[in-house]
Structure 1
Amino acid sequence: MKRRPVCLVCLLLMLCIWLMDLAGFARISGNPLPESVQLYIEKHPEAVICGEVQQYQATEYSLSAYLKHVCLIVGSEQIPIKNLRVFLKSNKEFPIGTTVKISGKLEEIPEPRNPGEFDSRQFYACQKIYYFMKNGVVLAWSSKYSRYGQFMQNLKSKIMQTLDIAAKEDAGIFEAMLLGEKDNLEDEVKIRYQMAGIIHILAISGLHISVLGIGFFDLLKRAGFGNVSAGMVVLSVLLQYGILTGESVSAMRAVGMFLLAVGARIAGRTYDLLTALAVSAVLLLLDAPANLYNSGFWLSFGAVAGLGVVAPVLAGCIRRENRLVVSVMKTLVSSIAVQMTTFPIMLRIYGEISLAGFFLNLLVLPTVSVVLVSGIAAVAVGMASVSAAVYVVLPGRVLLFLYEKLCELAAGIPFCTWIAGSPELWQCAGYYVLLFLGVGILGMSRGTVTWNGATGKRAGNHAFMQEKKNHGEGKGWLRKYQLLSGISGIMLILGLGILIYHPSGNLQITCLDIGQGDCISIQLPQGQNFLIDGGSSNKKNIARYQILPFLKNRGIGVIDAILISHTDNDHISGVLELFDYMRTHLTSVRVKNLILPEWTQPDDAYQQLVDKAQAAGVNVQKGRKGEQIALGKASLRFLSPDRGTAGTDANEDGMVVELTYGGFEGLFTGDIGTETEKKLLPELEDVDFLKVGHHGSRYSTCQEFLDVVRPELAVVSCSATNTYGHPSGETIERLEDSGAKIWYTMKEGAVTAETDGKEVWVDTFVHP
């Protein structure tokens, strides 16, 4: 740190921001606007604002505009509320830099509701956006605008149009790689690249900036420019490029580091990768302290730190025997170093890591520059002739086709991604301490290794080893080297053990918040995992955005069985989606069994579940009254339906399941109503946990039923904006009178009940 004081400053700044956030002095992880302003917006959501148009983005249903320098207009007063994203009623676009006055409904950006779910609030906080405005209507606008801003917007649109024509179905990938624009990138492509461990090539990174910057710098040098003039031109162009690509964290980090590299070259100073990394981090954190909790920030900086700290030490292990072998090994070492340093970050964010990525990056990374160059050349040529650009972009498209096949091949391999679960912060800290201690010891065992982060050149230790041998110290030094290398390896193994450690011993029931619907996870201490239902009537893609992230966050890679209470869409939509992902190899999560209620007259949705399950390789079984699944100390017993039940009334004929674990009993009643509840009374007894039937409908959870089951805690799963009136006030009153403590997914997010068979603890993901 003495040689790199900026690195120390960076670490101290991160620590200060974190401590200030914990102490409540800075709302880094929340809304920093004054409480009086927040309270006013909460009471008066229908508002009028004014702000400056920054950019536009097309959504599925409307056009949205990003505004900066936004003020809330209250009478004659204008109250600053930072930046804003407005969803407009009309599709009319105004020039960039135009000041607009808009009326609409302000809504605070929602926070995640389930473990593993994407944090939109934190994502937008990094852009200083804390509210959305829905149904925006433009009331007035200025005639003045930014000619430079509009030029950049037109240039970006022109580039995207050129790529759309020249690259055709691959245009979305080129736009993501060159412009950081991912709106036109197909979801399937993103999922496949993530599973294959090469999704990083779809973001603006140091590799992209290096290809653009160094290539342009060398071109100017050949044209007769000096170091200073060429450097100044490149610096200017890259700054504009950073603005053109939306100023993402990874793009601005890469641009900042490259500017420092070129600046050092102009000034005749030595470029230090770690110092440049620290300077970029300090600038980004000072601009937006919320970046401290930004996953993109940590992934981008973690990858470069791996190249600057871990890779040099590992590179010292390479023997200089064959240039080709050394080149391949250096690529492998870089890939391993990046994986080692970003491993906890990836698990913390996604709960999984691609095992295939270790090998696919060896094939992909050396060729990505060809894709980039072909895309850049196609854009340049396309400005004059789009028909010629079709041929220029062809080499890149061929490589993208090969990448796609590699991704499909990797996805077809069982467990191509390892679902290890999301570690706690203390586990990440423990891993990094042991990793860097191990790397430091390995470096000591190898002697002195030098590494130039800009050129990638190193001075190996083999000359050092030969010198030791010549002086007769070979055997003793070799033993010391082997001892230190062994200690280093043990530290790394211990670090991995700490990172993936998940203490077990209790049974966990988690009711996910998936809107108006049901999805319940049951995790047993012995390692078995079950889902009861999985669907929503007011949310789309819940398998992708809620169910799968939750499973990965908890380290659940295999589901022993999914139990379906009945076939209404709000109980099966996510399950159908999950089976589609399994069939097309877009997830590593596997389901062993699907258990459906045994009906003699199943509906079309029932048959659709069977077909999709079988296509995904899932065994289909039927559940009926009297059957039981023994699970060690736990068991699942089916209380309904009876043999011969038709299934014509999906709710009343649905599956009812009782869970026992030691002295604990839980009851899951689907959407049954009073009629079925009364039929089940002889089978029922006092329970500790009740998943309230039919989302708290007044036609369920009758008094006679409650008099028998007398739940200690009850969970209601429904949406805060549902149109059915769930939960009914009558039902809630009956539950309260019975002595039950009630939890609501619409208020507390995911609700988890944990038990050791005697005591029960409840935790909520959202703490009101």
Structure 2
Amino acid sequence: MKRPLIYAFAVLCCAILLAAFGAPFFLYVLLPVGLMPIPLIFKKVRPVSAVLILAVYMLGCAVAIPVFGNENPFEGFWEHPASLSGVVDSVPSQEGEKTRFVLKLQEINHMSVSGKVMVTVAEDSVTYMPGEVLSFDGEISEPAGRRNPGGFDYALYLKAKGIDGQVYLKNGEAITAKPGSFSPIYAVYSMRQRLSEICDQFFTPPQSGLIKGILLGDSTIDDEVKASFREAGVSHVLAISGLHVGYVYALVLWLLARLGVRRRYHLPVLAACLLFYITLTGFSPSVIRAALMCLALVGGRGITETYDALNGLCLAGVVILLFQPAQLFMAGFQLSFSAVLAIVLFYKPLLYEYERHIKTPGAVASSLLLTFCATLGTMPASLYHFHTLNLVALISNLLVVPLVGVLLVFALITVPLTAFIPAAGGLLCLPAAFLADGILFLTNLFSKFSWLVLHRGAMTLAELLIMVLVAFLISGYFNLNKKSARYFAGVSLPLLLLVIFGTSLVRQPLRITFLDVGQGDSALVETPSGGVYLIDGGGYETYGNALRKERTPISESVLLPVLYAKSIRRIDGVFISHNHADHAQGIEELLAEIPVGRIYVSSKYNNETLLSQNKIPVEVLAKGSALESGDGLSFEVLWPESKREMLADEEQNDASMLLRLCYGSRSFLFTGDAGFPVEEAIVRSMPEADVLKVGHHGSRFSTSPEFLKKLNPSLAVISVGRYNSFGHPTYEVLENIEASGAVCKRTDKNGAVEVWTNGKDLSVRSYIDKD
């Protein structure tokens, strides 16, 4: 077996996947049973290779099953006040008005425990040192998983870092801190914190954010700067990766050569330097992967053996996944490995084909091919996690990446020197500041080409296979002079294209997704023929004299990721039930981001700015209004009355548009924030509905027993925010729903709730299976 580590990596991934999806025991046994007779059947496979692969598989099962098991060390403490004590296990980071750090818990209610939590303090002025012991009272909460289509799985992200819970504190005043015992790792973390302070002191905020990102892996860069890097297709340079390790590797070997150090000492010195860098950057998997490959390269040369890049890549993968199995599902891990894999597989063959058919490639052509291979490799993971394909990256990377490398080398030298000679910091940091400004200028320039950024959902299996097949074809892996190769390519490509085309012709069911937008309402309607409608869009309401907090727009955090994940590029119509921010704000944000065919509002709607704009047609609906989608779906308005009058904000709830959707024999009722008066006004003439979007987030002023009895729903969906301050949904409403016999789903506990029907059958699933 030429490359046993490839097979070891593959079986390790199988073990992790089985554990992650809760496979039954007999599936775990199938793989080793199948592996055992292979050395007897295939003489080229040595028994030692089979034993290695089997050992890696069993180790993978042993480490993955506890990680993905349902047991959590803090499950018994969820949402209960407790006395907590633990050690600061990361460098605290300031993100907006918050300070965030990892705490390795030692005690809960004076009982010894083991595990980590992510602590968020609602202040940006608190500072703690890695290794300090903190004591405070708080509540441990369960991290949120993927709550919406295309959303971020925060629970899995924390699990990949070995973190089992989260704690949110309103301020740091009640935290008691005392020094902890010495630890080499915490000493390096403290050094990282000092280097971060040096960057903040001697550079402007944009410069500091960029330098801390490439030097320390610090992600607290300004949102606008981060957005420009993302739109320019070079956001990967802000995350510590193989690129950065490559520059560290080259710098260390250059210094060793200049100092005349013998080659046999290169490996231990390089290993020590890379271990320090891995610790300094917070044990990033991409750094570990790149460091292991560099060490394998130097070690291989030291014993005069040919370095095999694929084996080196798989060795790095095995080491990382044995220590952190959940990394297999992380975007960073997938992007890092797929980029290197594509470069290893396709760069040299494409370079050869270019030279054979065109001419000897120069530096620009070689760089373009390298960027193309990396982009090709990362495309599936980018579309799956970020729903984005950035074509401008093919050009921007040619200029930005080399400059980032030079900036990293300067930062590696000047920032630590400044820590020792602060008086000379202004002069020492001048070249790095100049380079940082140049990189920021270029990324801002390339970000103007946002029209070259494509948004769509994840690739289907057929699309992925076509991409891989074409890549191998153009790289010359198939000898098309052979009849078998021509026959394989000639049959496979048309067959896969036929699968894609045939799938697009299959009639889809009506699909309605009640999105989790926090304390607000939003539902996405996808019709059988591909029509798209949005009923409300969520948002952040401000009550009384409370200060309006700086928050990520709801369109950016929820709505656009949902639309991109579903490959939706246009919305046929948006319905705004009433003019309150938690229903209308997301729609208003979305109008500037994606084409919308028509806006529908009620006869009592009072946003004059929206009504008077002339870019998108606005249609006012009232009781008796009816719309048809053209593929069997109908919209009927049950409320408000047809008299046209704009009501004040405090009167908008009971002026909510009540919308009834019908498809075949199935129907859905959307009630906005309507309360008892509206229910009483329409209950006599109201037809039954299979699915009810519960009014006013489950407040005690809506969803009466009489209303539920007349409506007779089989499913009631409550759109409500986690830990909201209103006590929604109320106990009375939950009791009423239970008494009616309807199944109740809540976005605060179940995440997004998806309902689909062919007009007869009705199916339901929630993104978080918790009742």
Change over 3 Å in CA distance of 1:54–1:407 after alignment to 2: closer
Q: Contact 1:217–1:231 (CA<8 Å) still a contact in 2?
A: no
User: Which among 147, 162, 169 is matched to residue 128 of structure 1?
Assistant: 162
Check whether the contact 2:81–2:137 (CA below 8 A) recurs between aligned residues.
no
2:447 maps to a residue whose letter is: C
Deviation per CA, 1:67-114, whole angstroms, max 9, x where unpaired?
34x333565x5232x223334589664543344555432222222322
Given residue 365 of structure 2, which amino acid in structure 1 is its aligned partner?
M
Indicate the residue corresponding to 1:104 in structure 2. Answer: 138
What residue in structure 2 maps to residue 644 of structure 1?
A: 644
Q: Does 1:505 align with 2:539?
A: no
Mapping for residues 701-740 of structure 1, pairs under 5 Å: 701-703=703-705, 705-740=707-742
Structure 1 CA distance, aligned partners of 2:388 and 2:273? 38
Closer/same/farther in 2, CA of residues 728 and 282 from structure 1, 3 Å limit: same
Match of 1:473 in 2: none
- For 1:592-624, what per-residue CA distance to the aligned partner results, in whole angstroms no more than 9, with x for missing partners? 433332448x2xxx245568x87xx65444333
Alignment of 1:342-357 (within 5 A): 342-357=378-393
1:562 deviation in Å?
Answer: 1.9
Aligned match for 2:585, one of 573, 576, 601: 573
Deviations 1:651-707 (A, max 9, x none): 122222222223332221211223233434576322222212212233223455445
Structure 1 counterpart SS, 2:538: strand
* Structure-to-structure mapping, 1:132-171, within 5 angstroms: 132-135=166-169, 137-139=174-176, 141-142=178-179, 144-146=181-183, 149-150=186-187, 152-162=189-199, 165-171=202-208
Q: Is residue 87–residue 180 contact of structure 2 (8 Å, CA) maintained in 1?
A: no
| Distance across 2 between alignment mates of 1:513 and 1:336 | 37
Tell me which amino acid in the other structure corresponds to 1:172: G
SS at match of 2:521: strand
Distance 1:160 1:260 in 2: 35
Could you tell me the TM-score, scaled by structure 2's length? 0.82
SS of residue matched to 2:534:
strand
Partner in structure 1 of residue 240 of structure 2: 204
Distance 1:578 1:432, change over 3 A: closer
Distance 1:404 1:489 in 2: 43
Q: Residues 393 and 59 (structure 1 numbering): CA distance in 2 closer, same or farther, change over 3 Å?
A: closer
Residues 741 and 250 (structure 1), Cα distance of their counterparts in 2 relative to 1, 3 Å cut? same
1:500 to 1:344, Cα distance in 2 relative to 1, 3 A: farther
* Alignment pair present for 1:310 and 2:351: no
Q: Structure 1 residues 30, 709: CA separation in 2 closer, same or farther (over 3 Å shift)?
A: farther
From 335, 340, 346, the counterpart of 2:371: 335
Q: C-alpha distance in 2, partners of 1:72/1:33?
A: 23
Deviations 1:299-348 (A, max 9, x none): 11111111112333333321358777554333333333333332222222
Say what the alpha-carbon RMSD is for the aligned residues. Answer: 3.6
> Structure 2 residue aligned with 1:549, among 544, 556, 561?
561
Tell whether the 8 Å contact from 2:514 to 2:753 is kept in structure 1 after alignment: yes
Choose 702-711 or 744-753, whichever is displaced more.
Answer: 702-711
- Map 1:523-562 to 2 at 5 A: 523-537=526-540, 540-541=551-552, 542-562=554-574
* Partner SS for 2:729: coil
Amino acid in structure 1 at the alignment position of 2:430? V
Moved more, 232-241 or 753-762: 232-241
SS at match of 2:119: strand
Note the alpha carbon deviations across 1:415-462, whole angstroms, 9 max, x for none: x33333235xxx44x555555555556566666xxxxxxxxxxxxxxx
Cα distance per residue 1:512-560 (max 9 Å; x no partner): 1222210111111111111111224479433222222222222222222
The yes-or-no answer on 1:265 pairing with 2:265 is no
Is there any run of 5+ residues in structure 2 with no aligned partner, and where?
Answer: 25-60, 542-548
Q: Secondary structure at the match of 1:514?
A: coil
Question: Partners in 2 of 1:499 and 1:373 — Cα distance?
Answer: 53
Aligned to 1:386: 425
Q: Say yes or no: does 1:290 pair with 2:329.
A: no
Partner of 1:281 in structure 2? 317
1:564 alignment counterpart:
576
Query: SS at 1:559's partner residue?
Result: coil
Which is worse superposed, 527-536 or 159-168? 159-168
Identity of aligned residues (%): 28
Aligned-partner Cα distance in 1 for 2:440–2:502 = 34
- Which of 760, 764, 769 aligns to 1:758? It is 760
C-alpha distance in structure 1 between counterparts of 2:534 and 2:381, whole Å: 27
Preserved CA contact (<8 Å) 1:346 1:353: yes
**CA, structure 1 residues 244+46, in 2 after alignment: closer, same or farther (shift >3 Å)?**
same
For residue 718 of structure 1, report the CA deviation from its aligned partner. Answer: 1.5
Say if 1:45 and 1:107, in contact at 8 Å, map to a contact too: no
Q: How does 1:165-564 map to 2 (within 5 A)?
A: 165-183=202-220, 185-319=221-355, 325-365=361-401, 367-373=403-409, 375-376=411-412, 379=415, 382=418, 384=421, 385-388=424-427, 389-408=429-448, 410-411=449-450, 413=451, 416-422=452-458, 427-428=460-461, 436=468, 439-440=471-472, 483=486, 487=490, 490=493, 494=497, 497=500, 504-537=507-540, 540-541=551-552, 542-564=554-576
CA contact (8 A) 1:691 1:716 kept: yes
Residue 675 of structure 1 aligns to a residue whose secondary structure is helix
Output the CA distance in 2 between the equivalents of 1:749 and 1:148: 38
In structure 2, C-alpha distance between the alignment counterparts of 1:192 and 1:683, rounded to whole Å: 54
Q: 2:84 maps to which residue?
A: 48
User: For 2:578, what is the secondary structure of its paired residue?
Assistant: coil
- Corresponding residue for residue 458 of structure 1: none
The structure-2 alpha-carbon separation of the partners of 1:381 and 1:53, relative to structure 1 and needing over 3 Å to count, comes to: closer
Structure 1 residues 737 and 9, CA, compared in 2 at 3 Å: closer, same or farther?
closer
Contact 1:506 1:755 in 2 (8 A): yes
Deviation sequence 1:197-229 (CA, Å, 0-9, x none) = 332222112222212221332243134333234
* Contact map agreement 2:407 2:436 (CA 8 A) in 1: yes
- Which residue matches 1:629? 627
SS at match of 1:225: coil
Provide closer, same or farther for how the CA distance between residues 746 and 5 of structure 1 changes in structure 2, counting only shifts above 3 A: same
In structure 1, distance between residues paired with 2:133 and 2:416: 33
For 2:560 and 2:769, the matched residues in 1 are separated by 23
2:98, 2:225 → 1: CA distance? 24
Measured in 2, the distance between the counterparts of 1:307 and 1:564 equals 49
Asked if structure 2 preserves the Cα contact closer than 8 Å seen for 1:126 and 1:288, the reply is: yes
Q: Would the alpha carbon gap of residues 677 and 263 (structure 1) be closer, same or farther in structure 2, given more than 3 Å must change? A: same
SS at match of 1:84: strand
CA gap of 1:357–1:62, structure 2 versus 1, over 3 A, is closer
Cα distance in 2 between the residues matched to 1:293 and 1:503? 31
2:699 matched residue in structure 1:
697
Q: Are the structure 2 counterparts of residues 666 and 620 from structure 1 closer, same or farther at C-alpha, using a change threshold of 3 Å?
A: same
